[in-house]
Chain A
């Protein structure tokens, strides 16, 4: 039972960190550029498709993944320069409309380029192995790798945002855009860089998820809703908030799915317990969001100045 608890905890951690990779990019773009980017899920999808194609070409998952990151960042930058740059002065509803259009565009683009069948990224044998985290608890190497990459990425973002000049500008931009511009910083360039970084993070999330969930058209549409929940809980623009909120959601969701049926089974009939626990476990994260919003309407870690 304890081992199962540890295993489910790791599962929750892994789902949470995957979500963090996606939400981090979204919250950066949302917080700093004040842009509602629904097409973030499309960049997640395109990143996964790029990784799948490049893995096929190079024959190596690592090479495919490393090439897909700059490719998606470039795609993000091109999208920003062509389509999104003109929207910054408009209101949020225009952002929603335009980026929703981009979702349709990217889904159709993926269909034309890669076909309706979707793609799979087969893992190399070295990643298909298991190792014993604790005695009697084998855990898939690849899922453990996701946890490692997620934590490394969180560390990288922390250093970038808190300890570098670029990070200082990003934080300043999140607090007061006009002032940063008035001080002579090229805000246009900064925005483009941030959008590129956000796109690369989306691609990293997509390509890490792809060997588990396969690559398919529209794969970013549903998970985007979860990512939005994350940044609402974490506080818009806060990487730290996104990190905490992602882990919360990953753990609450997994633990709910893992243990609610048995817990309810002690008071309800098995059939009812199944139905109720499934419904309840899919509601849990939204209940969590409502609770956080009641106590802290701006989220757990709102960026200062908002």
Chain B
């Protein structure tokens, strides 16, 4: 407890150190585009923040570090996976750095704590991962865009997959925070069978899932569906494999297996089922360029977190080009973002009226590239042009 108190004190000190704001240029065309990027760069999930930063930087390199001829400056901030820290860092970007656009955010609870500081100050926020149902529905905002997905979308794809595989009885396990609730609701929205049990685990500090796994074994479902993003995915999969349940009760998941976790999950991730809107092998020109150049530069495969960040940079670029760098005219800039005139790495996409994407979801699997190397590949398209279910609740 003392640690968190101290962290709070440290955070407060950082925020209170307000500097003088730079004078804003009077001309219509900005002299420099300042983008604030909030992600997780410390703690167990730091690898994802690094992947997002690498991908955003790669996109800028592909653009010559200029958008519409204007130089771009990016300020990366670490949210430590904590909502209160994310809010502080967002406030710092808005008040001290006076950024033109804020982007990033892995965690739905961090985004929900932070977004108001941005959108209520007439500034655009573009999520590079989190897509909470609140922001897709009742609390949708004209200045908020998700370049990633709505939380329910990928689980809805998995729900269809479960139906295709003729699963009748399903057990659901997900962490108890904003995204965990959405991911559980998403699969229930399309799954036609019976949900025989559901556990919401403590987030983010529960690392031992023995109690939940014992309950799964006792409930004898046809399949289990989980959402454990980041490091938690390794922990759950390790323990599920150790419990020797994978053959008996097939494992379906979203955002639980990715390029980073796969380095530790290895064989444990084989023969599991999952669905996602993007994979490194999707055959689109923008995707091939992104994945090839990322591999060349970082000797590593990018994750979906990176792919989404790459898309965010190109989405912003498309709007800057369309408005000829006039960042002051918010209405024109918003219209340009809504048009989504850029080559997304996921292939065809367009924005719904709530500023969340409409796109396809694919079934994917893990395969062995060599003895020690694993990768993710696409099996088939589960569903095309999927809209999220919260969109009708958005009054915009």
Contact = CB atoms under 8 A, between A and B. Distances in A.
A167 interface: no
B172 to A, nearest CB: 10
A72 B239 CA distance: 26
Q: By DSSP majority rule, is chain B's interface helix, strand, loop, or mixed?
A: helix
Interface in A138-180: 138, 140, 142-143
Nearest to A129: B244
B243 interface: yes
Contact of B260 (A11, A117, A223): A117
A124 interface: no
Given A4-B214, A225-B1, A214 B264 contact: yes
B249 to A, nearest CB: 14
A223 B2 CA distance: 13
A79 interface: no
Interface in A206-260: 209, 211-214, 216-219, 221-225, 228, 254, 257-258
Contacts, number: 114
Contact of A117 (B47, B198, B211): B47
Contacts of A12: 211
B199 interface: yes
A219 B44 contact: yes
B200 A212 contact: no
B231 A214 contact: yes
Contacts of A281: 202
B43 A218 contact: yes
A128 B242 contact: yes
Given A117-B263, A140-B242, A213-B208, A258 B215 contact: yes
Interface footprint category on B? 35 or more
Contact of B210 (A15, A38, A107, A279): A15
A83 interface: no
Contacts of B3: 38, 100, 103, 221, 224-225
Contacts of B242: 123, 128, 140, 142-143, 211-212
Given A103-B3, A123-B242, A140-B243, A214 B214 contact: no
Interface of A: 3-4, 7-8, 11-12, 14-15, 38, 96, 100, 103, 107, 111, 116-120, 123, 128, 130, 138, 140, 142-143, 209, 211-214, 216-219, 221-225, 228, 254, 257-258, 261, 270, 274-275, 278-279, 281-282
Of all A-B residue pairs in the complex, the 3 with the closest CB atoms, nearest first, are A216-B44, A11-B210, A213-B207
